[in-house]
Structure 1
């Protein structure tokens, strides 16, 4: 696999002269992968910053757009699959074998807003719902939406489980051994707040506050709650994005069928998710691991756990949110 393809976010060759000047004025840091700069309170690699600025300047939103937001490795793939399944269910009721999730990875179906060039050609005319994803914080996304009443769904996950998921994912796509030293380095970055798209607490709080202020346009979901009550949470998601289940659908088992279709086991068994790659050259199979709640207990030392908990508790104090 091409090293440059994998590390497209780390490359700096796509940054304009204007953005280079901006970077000079921004706070900077480094993690074990590359240079970071802090823009609108969030840490980005330079190429990602360029993509964020391009989005804010050039994206043309539509009223019916739906944005699926998350901190990396917080249930993004699952949320994409569930939302696609909800929006596509009426089209494939009589032809389930042609369902897009059976032949495409969720990441191929839902373009990332801050990718270099989100592919808009797959969408039908402007009357249809367009589905996008992002890892940008709420205020940065809002700037790019230019006042349009798009709906935003945010999925939050326990920071310790997110860290473990990101650790495994990173080692897989870099094709390096899963070592304690890498985990310790990533834990240190998380606790300092200077991690890609971090700090995680500011990121999550931006959407939490957005959902409290405007619940009709921002839905805040928790990974752990979807795991515990998939039926109820899927119905909640369906209502929010404007395609609630009918009584007939509930009685016929449609909700459970979608839950099963989008399960980790079902998705990871599909050929498309075993062999395909993202546009950046990352194997789709790397997006599927355990998906368990509390897996951090198998990896973090008591000291690491206590430090993360203490920082998160302090940062979220008074917000009404815990994760």
Structure 2
């Protein structure tokens, strides 16, 4: 059975439930939010999700000020579930009519993340982007503005087998830790993950928000699993093209365009690009996030190389319990 939340986790959750969430960042005193360490950086509990406190000043304006357009495409993912791959596939599919695949700007381009504090991810910069916009986020649906549903924009959500997502995050978190700090032990990381304590966690709540929205708005919300892309990427590319209302023509099918999109966006191609081999995404507090850190293996089932049977069963029990009755299975 799943491990019961720790006493600190219970008190943290209770504190959050008892507080009325602020409506704007000016009303928020981060020091009053439940805080907990254990990962590369401490996290705070805000509206039932564990978040990097330094990101709140960028996350809260998204809910308050982001204005989705009807022709927007929002790519929502839980961390370490194939974000880079999905962005590459979506961008290539939607822009194939404007760019020859051989010299596609994907080979040198980057795409804005709603909550990332960079010039490319600044909300004012996003507002100035021409339509149609392709936007990415790790935010749960409840931290996006309600008008997202009313706007009619399309949302693609990507998740991953929790055991693989966990192992990938554990590796990433250890790469992000401060210089001189001890590595995060796998069993400690698993206990935190199973409690729902991880960046943008609990992971099951993150998944379920979009899963329920997919049921309510199937024409505007597409729910994908990383394993589906890995097992049949060409078919998923066709699904994306249809969902984006730019299906492949018979001529494109004859020319093998779906297969060429898959080749251009393959793990080997993306990880081999010069701008993904070097350079940093962010720096601060003795932590450096290099672009190459977003590419590890991308293999389905890699968890078996790291987790003992008992550990895998522990996480499986949590998943079964938390998703029970939802129809979402892994």
Calculate the TM-score normalised by the size of structure 1.
0.85
Q: Which residue of 1 aligns with 2:106?
A: 101
The one of 35, 38, 51 equivalent to 2:42 is: 35
Where does 1:154-233 land on structure 2 (aligned, <5 Å)? 154-174=157-177, 181-233=184-236
Query: Is structure 2 residue 108 aligned with structure 1 residue 116?
Result: no
After superposition, the C-alpha distances for 1:255-312 in whole angstroms (9 at most, x for unaligned) are 0001011000111112121123325552211111111100000001112111100010
Displacement, 1:196? Answer: 1.0
Conserved? CA contact 1:57–1:144, under 8 Å: no
Q: Which residue of 1 aligns with 2:297?
A: 290
The one of 278, 283, 286 equivalent to 2:281 is: 278
Q: Which residue of 1 aligns with 2:70?
A: 63
- Partners of 1:175 and 1:162 lie apart in 2 by 22
Q: Which residue of 2 aligns with 1:234?
A: 237
- Partners of 1:245 and 1:259 lie apart in 2 by 14
| Paired residue secondary structure (2:146) | helix
- Partners of 2:264 and 2:223 lie apart in 1 by 23
- Partners of 2:183 and 2:29 lie apart in 1 by 35
Conserved? CA contact 2:140–2:206, under 8 Å: yes
Where does the alignment leave 5 or more consecutive residues of structure 2 unmatched? 1-23
- Partners of 1:266 and 1:101 lie apart in 2 by 11
Structural RMSD (CA): 2.5
Where does 1:132-147 land on structure 2 (aligned, <5 Å)? 132-143=135-146, 145=148, 147=150
Conserved? CA contact 1:110–1:133, under 8 Å: yes
Calculate the TM-score normalised by the size of structure 2.
0.83
Where does the alignment leave 5 or more consecutive residues of structure 1 unmatched? 1-14
Q: Size of the alignment, in residue pairs?
A: 300
- Partners of 1:303 and 1:75 lie apart in 2 by 26
- Partners of 1:130 and 1:103 lie apart in 2 by 18
Displacement, 1:179? Answer: 8.3
Conserved? CA contact 2:25–2:60, under 8 Å: no
- Distance change (3 Å), C-alpha of 1:142 and 1:239: farther
- Partners of 1:226 and 1:297 lie apart in 2 by 20
Displacement, 1:116? Answer: 2.9
- Partners of 1:125 and 1:272 lie apart in 2 by 22
- Partners of 1:180 and 1:278 lie apart in 2 by 22
